[in-house]
Chain A
Amino acid sequence: MSFLRSAWYALPNLVRFVIRRLFVGLLLCLGITLVSFALTQVVPGDPVSANLGDRAASDPEIVAAFRARYGLDKPVPQQYLLYLERLVHGDLGESQQTKRPVTTDLAQYLPATIELATAAMILALVLGITLGVVAAIGRDRWPDQVIRVISLAGVSIPTFWLALVTFYIFFFKLGIAPGVGRLNPGGKAPPSITNMFTIDALLSGQWTTLGIAASHLVLPATVLAIYTVGSITRFTRAAMLESLSQDYVRAARAKGLPERTVILRHALRPALAAIVTVAGMAFGRMLSGTVLVESVFSWPGIGQYAYKSALALDLRAIMGVSLVVAAIYILVNMAVDIIYALIDPRIRLG
Chain B
Amino acid sequence: MIITRRMLGVLPIAMAAAVAGMVPAGAFAQDASTLVVDTAFQLKTADPAREFEPTANLVLHPVYETLITFKGSDLTTLVPSLASIPVVAPDAKTFTFTLNPAAKFSDGSPVTVDDVIFSFNRVKNVKGSPSFLLDGVTVAKGAKDGEIVLTTEQPDPGLPYKLANPAVGIVNSKLVMANQGSADEGADKTDRAEAFLASTSAGSGPYILDKFDMAAEVVLKRNDAYWGAKPAYDQIVVRNVDTSAQQMNVMRGDSQIALDLRPDQLDAIKDAAYTLSVPGADVVFMFTNANPEISATAANPDFQQAVRLAIDYDGILAIAGEGAARPGSIIPTMFAGALPTDAGPKRDVEAAKAALAKSGIKDPSIELTYVSDITKNGVSFADVAAKMQADLKEVGITANLKPSPVSTFLDDYRAGTLPMTIVWWGPDYPDPSDYLLFGPGEKVGLRAGWKAGSAPEVTEIAKKAAVEIDQAKRVELYDAWQKALNAKGPFTSLFQPAFSMASSKTLEPVEYNAMWTIDLTAIAPAKQ
Chain A interface residues (CB < 8 Å from chain B): 43-46, 49-50, 52-59, 61-62, 65, 69, 97-100, 108-109, 126, 164, 167-168, 171-172, 175, 178-182, 184-186, 207-208, 210-212, 214-215, 295-298, 300, 304-305, 311-313
> In the assembled complex, which residues on chain A have CB atoms less than 8 Å from the CB atom of B408?
44-45
Asked if A50 and B407 make an inter-chain contact with CB atoms under 8 angstroms apart, the answer reads yes
Asked if A184 and B27 make an inter-chain contact with CB atoms under 8 angstroms apart, the answer reads yes
Q: Does B283 interact with chain A (Cβ within 8 Å)? A: no
Known: A298-B216, A311-B373. A185 touches B132 (CB 8 A): no
Least CB distance from B452 to A in Å reads: 16
Least CB distance from A46 to B in Å reads: 5
By beta carbon, the residue of chain B nearest A97 is: B44
Asked if B245 and A180 make an inter-chain contact with CB atoms under 8 angstroms apart, the answer reads yes
> In the assembled complex, which residues on chain B have CB atoms less than 8 Å from the CB atom of A172?
248, 251-252
Asked if A207 and B22 make an inter-chain contact with CB atoms under 8 angstroms apart, the answer reads yes
> In the assembled complex, which residues on chain A have CB atoms less than 8 Å from the CB atom of B132?
55-56, 59, 62
List the 5 closest pairs (A to B, CB-CB), nearest first: A211-B22, A300-B215, A45-B407, A211-B23, A53-B129
Asked if A186 and B23 make an inter-chain contact with CB atoms under 8 angstroms apart, the answer reads no
Asked if B248 and A171 make an inter-chain contact with CB atoms under 8 angstroms apart, the answer reads yes
Asked if A305 and B215 make an inter-chain contact with CB atoms under 8 angstroms apart, the answer reads yes
Give Cα A50 to B242, complex, Å. Answer: 21
Q: Does B343 interact with chain A (Cβ within 8 Å)? A: no
Known: A57-B414, A208-B27, A211-B20. A99 touches B44 (CB 8 A): yes
Pick out which of these stretches binds chain A: B28-36, B81-89, B375-383: B28-36
Contact of B237 among A43, A46, A178, A185 (CB under 8 A): A185
Contact of B131 among A49, A62, A100 (CB under 8 A): A62
Contact of B240 among A45, A61, A164, A300 (CB under 8 A): A300
Asked if B241 and A298 make an inter-chain contact with CB atoms under 8 angstroms apart, the answer reads yes
> In the assembled complex, which residues on chain A have CB atoms less than 8 Å from the CB atom of B367?
none
Contact of B19 among A98, A215, A295 (CB under 8 A): A215
Give Cα A50 to B414, complex, Å. Answer: 12
Asked if B405 and A298 make an inter-chain contact with CB atoms under 8 angstroms apart, the answer reads no
> In the assembled complex, which residues on chain B have CB atoms less than 8 Å from the CB atom of A53?
52, 129-130, 428
Known: A58-B443, A184-B28. A300 touches B252 (CB 8 A): no
Asked if B216 and A49 make an inter-chain contact with CB atoms under 8 angstroms apart, the answer reads no
Give Cα A143 to B518, complex, Å. Answer: 56
> In the assembled complex, which residues on chain A have CB atoms less than 8 Å from the CB atom of B502?
none
Q: What 0/1 readout, one digit per residue, does chain B (454-479) give for beta carbons within 8 Å of chain A?
A: 00000000000000000000000000
Asked if A300 and B216 make an inter-chain contact with CB atoms under 8 angstroms apart, the answer reads yes
By beta carbon, the residue of chain B nearest A312 is: B407
> In the assembled complex, which residues on chain A have CB atoms less than 8 Å from the CB atom of B129?
52-53, 55-56, 62
List CB contacts (< 8 Å) of B400-428 with chain A.
405-408, 410-411, 414, 425-426, 428
Least CB distance from B427 to A in Å reads: 11
By beta carbon, the residue of chain A nearest B31 is: A186
Least CB distance from A126 to B in Å reads: 8
Give Cα A304 to B43, complex, Å. Answer: 14
Q: Does B441 interact with chain A (Cβ within 8 Å)? A: no
Asked if A167 and B34 make an inter-chain contact with CB atoms under 8 angstroms apart, the answer reads no
A-B contact pairs, 25 of them (CB 8 A): A44-B408, A49-B411, A50-B410, A55-B428, A56-B131, A62-B127, A62-B128, A62-B129, A109-B215, A126-B12, A171-B248, A172-B248, A172-B251, A175-B252, A179-B255, A181-B216, A182-B216, A185-B30, A185-B217, A185-B239, A186-B235, A211-B20, A211-B23, A215-B19, A298-B245
Asked if B44 and A167 make an inter-chain contact with CB atoms under 8 angstroms apart, the answer reads no
Give Cα A313 to B214, complex, Å. Answer: 17
Known: A179-B254, A296-B244, A311-B407. A186 touches B237 (CB 8 A): yes
By beta carbon, the residue of chain B nearest A57 is: B414
Give Cα A219 to B501, complex, Å. Answer: 27
Known: A210-B19, A311-B406. A100 touches B248 (CB 8 A): no
6 new A-B contacts, CB < 8 A, other than A56-B131, A185-B30, A207-B22, are A55-B129, A56-B52, A58-B443, A185-B237, A208-B22, A298-B245
Give Cα A178 to B28, complex, Å. Answer: 7
Asked if A100 and B216 make an inter-chain contact with CB atoms under 8 angstroms apart, the answer reads no
> In the assembled complex, which residues on chain B have CB atoms less than 8 Å from the CB atom of A297?
245
Least CB distance from B59 to A in Å reads: 13
By beta carbon, the residue of chain B nearest A202 is: B19
Asked if A65 and B406 make an inter-chain contact with CB atoms under 8 angstroms apart, the answer reads no
Least CB distance from A342 to B in Å reads: 20
By beta carbon, the residue of chain A nearest B252 is: A172
Asked if B252 and A171 make an inter-chain contact with CB atoms under 8 angstroms apart, the answer reads yes
Contact of B249 among A46, A55, A180 (CB under 8 A): A180
Least CB distance from B187 to A in Å reads: 10
Give Cα A45 to B414, complex, Å. Answer: 12
Q: What 0/1 readout, one digit per residue, does chain B (421-460) give for beta carbons within 8 Å of chain A?
A: 0000110100000000000000100000000000000000
Contact of A211 among B27, B245, B255, B426 (CB under 8 A): B27
> In the assembled complex, which residues on chain B have CB atoms less than 8 Å from the CB atom of A99?
44-45, 50, 194
Give Cα A108 to B211, complex, Å. Answer: 14
> In the assembled complex, which residues on chain B have CB atoms less than 8 Å from the CB atom of A43?
407
Contact of A296 among B21, B130, B242 (CB under 8 A): B242
> In the assembled complex, which residues on chain B have CB atoms less than 8 Å from the CB atom of A296?
242, 244-245
Least CB distance from B95 to A in Å reads: 21
Least CB distance from A247 to B in Å reads: 27
Asked if B20 and A215 make an inter-chain contact with CB atoms under 8 angstroms apart, the answer reads yes
By beta carbon, the residue of chain A nearest B167 is: A53
List CB contacts (< 8 Å) of B356-382 with chain A.
373
Give Cα A210 to B382, complex, Å. Answer: 45
By beta carbon, the residue of chain A nearest B198 is: A100
> In the assembled complex, which residues on chain B have CB atoms less than 8 Å from the CB atom of A164?
244
Contact of A168 among B241, B248, B373 (CB under 8 A): B248
Contact of A214 among B19, B244, B255, B428 (CB under 8 A): B19
By beta carbon, the residue of chain A nearest B28 is: A178
Scoring A49, A164, A178 by chain B CB atoms within 10 A of each residue's CB, the highest score goes to: A49
Contact of A210 among B22, B216, B241, B244 (CB under 8 A): B22
Contact of A181 among B188, B217, B443 (CB under 8 A): B217
By beta carbon, the residue of chain A nearest B248 is: A172
Asked if B410 and A49 make an inter-chain contact with CB atoms under 8 angstroms apart, the answer reads yes
By beta carbon, the residue of chain A nearest B52 is: A53
Q: What 0/1 readout, one digit per residue, does chain B (110-129) give for beta carbons within 8 Å of chain A?
A: 00000000000000000111
Q: Does B348 interact with chain A (Cβ within 8 Å)? A: no
Give Cα A256 to B44, complex, Å. Answer: 68
Least CB distance from B205 to A in Å reads: 18
Asked if A45 and B411 make an inter-chain contact with CB atoms under 8 angstroms apart, the answer reads yes
Q: Does B351 interact with chain A (Cβ within 8 Å)? A: no
> In the assembled complex, which residues on chain A have CB atoms less than 8 Å from the CB atom of B21?
211
By beta carbon, the residue of chain A nearest B247 is: A172
> In the assembled complex, which residues on chain B have CB atoms less than 8 Å from the CB atom of A210?
19, 22
Q: Does B309 interact with chain A (Cβ within 8 Å)? A: no
Least CB distance from B409 to A in Å reads: 8
Q: What 0/1 readout, one digit per residue, does chain B (283-322) give for beta carbons within 8 Å of chain A?
A: 0000000000000000000000000000000000000000
> In the assembled complex, which residues on chain A have CB atoms less than 8 Å from the CB atom of B30?
184-185
Asked if A298 and B252 make an inter-chain contact with CB atoms under 8 angstroms apart, the answer reads no
> In the assembled complex, which residues on chain A have CB atoms less than 8 Å from the CB atom of B241?
180-181, 298
Least CB distance from B73 to A in Å reads: 24
Scoring B24, B50, B131, B443 by chain A CB atoms within 10 A of each residue's CB, the highest score goes to: B131
By beta carbon, the residue of chain A nearest B36 is: A185
> In the assembled complex, which residues on chain A have CB atoms less than 8 Å from the CB atom of B373?
311
> In the assembled complex, which residues on chain B have CB atoms less than 8 Å from the CB atom of A212?
23, 27-28
> In the assembled complex, which residues on chain A have CB atoms less than 8 Å from the CB atom of B34?
185-186
> In the assembled complex, which residues on chain A have CB atoms less than 8 Å from the CB atom of B255?
179, 185
Asked if A215 and B237 make an inter-chain contact with CB atoms under 8 angstroms apart, the answer reads no
